[in-house]
Amino acid sequence: MGEFRVLEIKQSIFADNDRRAKELREELKEKKVFLLNLMSSPGSGKTTTLQRTIELLKEKLQIGVMEADIDSDVDAATISKMGVKTIQLHTGGMCHLDAGMTAQGLAGIEAGSLDLAVLENVGNLVCPAEFDTGAVKNAMILSVPEGDDKALKYPLMFSICDVVLINKIDVLPYFDFDMETCRKNILMRNPKAKIIPISARIGEGIKEWTKWLEKEVRQWQES
């Protein structure tokens, strides 16, 4: 049998991406642009939460949104109606965004003039957690119908998130979802996680979330 080398491609992909993500964060710092990476399963409420967030913050912050999707522009069409800069990023089948793709999106949206750029990542609890996008903070949404045990099943996603929004609390009476169990499971994965129960539908909790976000943006810009 001939000799051959084994190349650990995955590791080199991650190392390259981590380097690019670090550079991107430094560029964002210089330009005083805060990048939020918003992740969740499909249908947990990323786009709806963004709509509520934009309503409360668009008079205070210049906001731009990057809508990542495998192949559609439904969410970009929804968000662009809110009167903020919007761009659709087609990943061409990829289940996540990496730092290079995010940098292309930021250039496409001319993010230099923004206070807050939001990346709505591809709906998936696995792949997006593995790739640092260069974001200043990672947020994820877990919705009530998905169950209170998700942090046990997707440990990496919960461990890399700074904030977890528990969405769709308006439907709590109809699901076997225990808020305290959910909190306990999240904090077991990530004791530092900020947890905010919300309903993007009726607006509950959105003020607390936007207050947290605005404070983080100001801190990033002033530090």
Ligand X SMILES: Nc1nc2c(ncn2[C@@H]2O[C@H](COP(=O)(O)OP(=O)(O)O)[C@@H](O)[C@H]2O)c(=O)[nH]1
For the chain, the maximum distance between any two Cα atoms, rounded to a whole number of angstroms, is 68
Q: How many CB atoms lie within 10 A of CB 207?
A: 13
The residue among 24 and 200 lying less far from ligand X, judged by its C-beta, is 200
76-84 own/partner pairs: CB under 8 Å, 24+ apart: 78/47, 78/51, 79/47, 79/50, 79/51, 79/54, 79/120, 82/51, 82/54, 82/55, 82/58, 83/58, 84/54, 84/58
Is residue 47 a contact point for Mg ion (CB under 5 A)? yes
Cβ at position 142, least distance to ligand X in Å: 11
Closest residue (Cβ) to Mg ion? 47
Q: How far is the CB of 86 from Mg ion (least distance, A)?
A: 12
Distance CA 136, CA 38 (A): 11
Residues that bind ligand X (CB under 6 A): 40, 42-48, 123, 167-168, 170-171, 199-201
* Residue 75 makes contact with Mg ion by CB under 5 A: yes
Question: Count of residues for the chain?
Answer: 223
Mark the segment that binds Mg ion (CB under 5 A) among 22-30, 67-75, 87-95, 177-185.
Answer: 67-75
Shortest distance, position 106 Cβ to Mg ion, whole Å: 19
Q: Binding residue for Mg ion (CB under 5 A) from 36, 41, 45, 46? A: 46
* Nearest approach, Cβ of residue 15 and Mg ion (Å): 30
Q: For residues 192 and 175, what is the distance between their CA atoms, to the nearest angstrom? A: 27
Where on the chain is the footprint of Mg ion (CB under 5 A)? 46-47, 75
